[in-house]
Amino acid sequence: MRRMILICLLWMITNLATAALPDQFAQRLAKGSLTEKQQLISEMIKENDASIQPLFTALVEGNLYWLDSNSTLAIKQDNQFINWRNKQVIDLPKNQFKRITINNNIRQLVAQYQLQIKLSSNTIPTRRNAAKALFGHIQSPSQINIIVERLALEQDSEVKQRLLEALAFAKLENCQQNECLVLLTQLSNVTNPIFVQKLQQLTSIEGSPIVKEKAQSLLNKITQKKAIYEKTEQVYFGISLGAVLVLAAIGLAITFGVMGVINMAHGELIMIGAYTTYVMQQLLPNYPGIALILSVPAAFLVCGAVGMLIEISVIKYLYGRPLETLLATFGISLLLQQLFRTLFSPLNKAIITPSWMQGSIQVNDFLSLTINRLYVIGFSLTIFIVLLLIMKKTSLGLNVRAISMNPLMARCLGVKASWVNALTFGLGSGIAGLAGVALSQITNVGPNLGQNYIIDSFMVVVFGGVGNLWGTLIAGLTLGLANKFLEPITGAMLAKIMVLISLVLFIQKRPRGLFPQRGRAVEG
């Protein structure tokens, strides 16, 4: 019992001391001289109080203020002053707050402490990021001492490698010939842009010819790596553009390739899918991720219904007359564009990208892959596989293929051609809506969204072979890669023109595309 009482008393005394410490800290930090502030921060660092960390961060960023009227420290966030202890907003005029000033010595002292905290974190990713951020930013012998101490304790091989590289680069600033050669050898696998600048400096200044030769050799090696990574990035962007083209064209591959309908309103169906995403985000403004997920079935159903309505009311009277379907659907596209301008205004609408689709994957210093495009690639391939299964494994797919190959025989066998046509057109239109959902995450959403993709969609379908889904996939990826590899050489507009000319020449030699397929559109 006595032991329990003693433990409780010690706990209370400790907590009272800790609670009193911040008030004393605040007074001295606000009103002391720069020398007193530096001494105070040194004392606080020795205490290693985790509750003071937000204050240190605000202090070095210039966002720590003092309110003399009630002796309170406040952190400035988004033009508001927050009481650092109870996290409440202090609603007082800005002129009553006085910024706490510090000098470079204090900044360096706090930076060293924060570095030590990060490098001794229990989580490996935190230590890896801290070690990586050190490269080229070691500015004092005390930081070198911290790194050396941490190297003796560190167990993770990647963290140790990062620390050794940062240490080697810091020593490269003042080294003799033999030491420089050893350090450059240690840094031979580094591709950091800061290291590239240092190598360029070493090759341009007067110095040891051997060191200059070594630096030039490493610079050439890094340049070659950079060129490879740039090509890899071009391939990634080409595949992502190709995935967008496949997603935009795959619905058209059904309506145009299988049914023989030149649907000029296909772009507007893509636009409706994008606006469905916008409407869902308006209904769920605080949950952009959930809104985006719900937009997928919503866009499919909305655009599918619109497509079936178009087929029942207009298209079914025009089968076998492709030029008339072109004119009719072109009029429908103009009508839909004007309707959405009236409903939503001609201005582009902002779509919030969910947090899990933001940012990029940093493969190395020269290669970064944006996450939203990675999702678009995965989404496009998923839709392609699902559509392929529908066409190959379901009764709807069987009926669609039967009608496309021999409509009269299919009707004789009991296939309801009118109903199958409506469902098929609705399926293609629904997939166009899914394309709109994906495009809403990488481009502007407006009434003219579909017009940017309608020509490219027809190019993909014709190039791949009308009605062939595999041809659509290969053609979309090929055109996407061709565009991205030509753009750095010729510019974006000239690249599109060159792709179009190449496609026209290809069609002259192979009119039915890469993978020709028998069907109503081909035989007619």
- Region of poorest pLDDT, from 101-110, 240-249, 277-286, 440-449: 101-110
* pLDDT, average across residues 327-350: 90
- Which range of 7-21, 170-184, 425-439, 482-496 scores highest in mean pLDDT? It is 425-439
- pLDDT score at 133: 81
Q: What is the percent of the chain with per-residue pLDDT over 70, rounded to a whole number? A: 91
In terms of C-beta distances under 8 Å and separation of at least 24 residues, what long-range contacts does 306-310 make, across chains too? 306/269, 306/272, 306/429, 307/255, 307/269, 307/425, 307/426, 307/427, 307/428, 307/429, 307/430, 307/432, 308/422, 308/423, 308/425, 308/426, 308/429, 310/265, 310/425, 310/429
Within 154-252, residue ranges assigned H as helices are 157-171, 177-186, 193-204, 209-252
* pLDDT, average across residues 185-206: 85
Q: Is the pLDDT of residue 513 over 60?
A: yes
- Of the pLDDT bands very low, low, confident and very high (cuts 50, 70, 90), residue 130 is confident
Higher pLDDT, 496 or 218: 218
- pLDDT score at 294: 94
Q: What pTM did the predictor assign? A: 0.72
Please choose, from the candidates 437, 471, 167, the residue with its C-alpha nearest in 3D space to the C-alpha of residue 276: 437
Q: Is the pLDDT of residue 19 over 70?
A: no
Q: Is the pLDDT of residue 7 over 70?
A: no
Vertex 366: Cα angle to 365 and 371 (nearest 5): 90
- pLDDT score at 522: 46
Q: Is the pLDDT of residue 6 over 60?
A: no
- pLDDT score at 521: 41
What is the strand order of the sheet 80-83 is part of?
80-83, 72-77, 64-67, 97-99
* pLDDT, average across residues 174-178: 84
- pLDDT score at 17: 37
> Can you list the domains of the chain with their CATH numbers?
24-102 (no CATH), 107-207 (1.25.40), 228-523 (1.10.3470)
- pLDDT score at 24: 60
Q: Is the pLDDT of residue 460 over 90?
A: no
In tens, the pLDDT along 380-409 reads 999 999 988 888 888 877 877 777 666 677
- pLDDT score at 379: 92
* pLDDT, average across residues 103-110: 80
Alpha carbon distance 516, 379 (integer Å): 26
Q: Is the pLDDT of residue 36 over 60?
A: yes
* pLDDT, average across residues 179-185: 88
Q: Is the pLDDT of residue 11 over 60?
A: no
Phi and psi at residue 81, to the nearest 5°: -110, 120
In tens, the pLDDT along 201-240 reads 888 877 788 888 888 999 899 889 888 988 998 899 999 8
Q: Is the pLDDT of residue 413 over 80?
A: no
- State the sign of the Cα–Cα–Cα–Cα dihedral 206, 210, 213, 219: negative
Please choose, from the candidates 378, 372, 354, 358, the residue with its C-alpha nearest in 3D space to the C-alpha of residue 243: 378
* pLDDT, average across residues 142-168: 85
Q: Is the pLDDT of residue 258 over 70?
A: no
Chain centroid, CA 217 distance in Å: 35
* pLDDT, average across residues 498-511: 82
Please report, for the chain, how many H helices and E strands are present, in that order. 21, 6
Q: Is the pLDDT of residue 110 over 60?
A: yes
- Of the pLDDT bands very low, low, confident and very high (cuts 50, 70, 90), residue 49 is low
